[in-house]
Amino acid sequence: MRYVCCCVSAAAIAALILGTPAVAATPTGFKENPRDCQNTIEFGAWLEGFKKDAAAAGISKGAIQKALGGIEFDPNIIKRDRRQGFFAQSFISFQKKLATDSRVVAGRKKIAANKHAFERAEKEFGVPAEVITGFWALESDFGKGMGDLSVLRSLVTLAYDCRRGEMFTEELKAALKIIDRGDLEPADMIGSWAGELGQTQFLPTRYVEYAIDYDGDRHSNLFKSDADIIGSTANYMKHLGWKRGEPWIEEVVVTRELPWQEADLAIKNQRNEWAKWGVQSVDGAALPADKQKASLLLPMGRHGPAFLAYDNFGVYLQWNQSLNYATTAAYLATRIAGASKMRSGRDDIPVLGGEETKELQHLLTRRGFDVGTIDGLVGEKTRAAVKQMQIKFKLPADSYPTPELLNRLRGG
């Protein structure tokens, strides 16, 4: 939905300036070819073959003609997909651009204006209003930044292209199903180059599965109906595993004596354990001495902001695998709910640039670590490898890559 302007979705802008994917990573089971792959079939021939496959999948000829009659290949979409340049920024820079005071205010206004729909969604799906509005704000700025491109043209182009054609063929079929069942008209499907739909940026397959009619008009419209947006987003989050009545993230204060190796999303400790290690609420109050489990999340290491991440935070990471995006969305939801502004930590926190992070990933790979794609973005695998090398070099194992660690790796 993953990852605000007049021409692309908020998610796509986040991708360009903040390092989050503009569209979900290719799911398991779908082939992804190199960016320099070449198509071997002419577009017109491919399109005719797709129309036959769509009809065989049960999509009506009327919907196929309505959606695809006269449609053309768009080379600019391929350029955007192949380019996808990333400008990695720190979490603090990330959240300053997206978790703004204006979005906190706008989120609260949305909740007040749609009180009954939000109450119904929480009752039926267990997802609080502020959590839904946090995603809504980041994905499209409440509908202001959905994009101005033909989604069908984008999907046709991406489905034809050799790089991720298999995945986008399924997305295109799903878009035709949406038209076939009467939820949207082709002219309604205006969005970003990546083919996402509506104000919370559902890929068409998600739209088909999880978009619901919440305003009673017998259609699911995630472009124009606030009620449908609220109900559908809550429905999808429940599918991702949202746990009713449980927290998602909480900013905390840590001490210098903390066993830093415990600060890991893969490690969960009870709150009474975190309290024993000196972790406190941001207002200085003691944590509840209970058995509620949480991970300690340090998105910028031991000198930056600190959060307790609960089980529901995993839903954020399923929505978008970028740790910066997930943490920002979760933090924004707490602000909308009334939490104070985040403590930014030290002003001089060291930050590796994109090329330095790529070098770090190369050096970690040489030492036998699987860091995933060497892309200059610090994902879960890179953080895990960083932690292991910090332990080896007897550095505080907070999983945050620093110039000091890079220099140690360079020295062998």
Assign 6 a pLDDT band (cuts: 50, 70, 90). very low
Q: How far is CA 74 from the centre of its chain?
A: 26
Q: What is the pLDDT, as a whole number, of residue 83?
A: 75
Report the alpha-carbon distance of residue 207 to residue 193 in Å, rounded.
17
Please compute the mean of the pLDDT values over residues 176-191 and round it to a whole number: 97
Tens of pLDDT, residues 55-113: 999 999 999 999 999 999 999 999 998 875 545 678 998 899 999 999 999 999 999 99
- Of 210, 148, 157, the residue nearest 183 (C-alpha): 210
Assign 2 a pLDDT band (cuts: 50, 70, 90). very low
Share of the chain above pLDDT 70, in %: 91
Assign 230 a pLDDT band (cuts: 50, 70, 90). very high
Is the full-model pTM beyond 0.85? yes
Listing DSSP states for 189-222 in one string gives -EE-TT--BTTTTB-HHHHHHH----SSSSS--T
Q: Which CATH superfamily is domain 10-85+145-240 in?
A: Bacterial muramidase (1.10.8.350)
Q: What is the pLDDT, as a whole number, of residue 348?
A: 80
Contact 261, 268 (CB under 8 A): no
C-alpha dist (Å) from residue 391 to 202, 244, 366, 386, 388: 41, 37, 17, 9, 5
Q: What is the pLDDT, as a whole number, of residue 16?
A: 42
Torsions phi, psi for 274 (to 5 deg): -60, -40
Least confidently predicted of 24-28, 64-68, 108-112, 337-341:
24-28
Coil, helix or strand at residue 110 = helix
Mean pLDDT taken over the chain = 91
- Of 235, 226, 157, 221, the residue nearest 195 (C-alpha): 157
Assign 28 a pLDDT band (cuts: 50, 70, 90). low
- Tokens, residue 330: 């979760």
Letter string b/e over residues 62-79, b meaning 16 or more CB atoms within 10 A of that residue's CB: ebbebbbeebebbeebbe
Tens of pLDDT, residues 284-331: 899 998 999 999 999 999 989 999 999 999 999 999 988 999 999 999
pLDDT over threshold 50, residue 14? no
Q: What is the pLDDT, as a whole number, of residue 11?
A: 52
Q: What is the pLDDT, as a whole number, of residue 321?
A: 86
Q: What is the pLDDT, as a whole number, of residue 274?
A: 97
Share of the chain above pLDDT 90, in %: 79
- Of 196, 147, 145, 199, the residue nearest 175 (C-alpha): 196
Report the alpha-carbon distance of residue 220 to residue 210 in Å, rounded.
10
Torsions phi, psi for 65 (to 5 deg): -70, -40
The percent of the chain in helix, strand and coil, each rounded to the nearest 5, is: 50, 5, 45
Tens of pLDDT, residues 233-273: 999 999 999 999 999 999 999 998 899 999 999 999 999 99
Domain boundaries, the chain: 10-85+145-240, 354-410
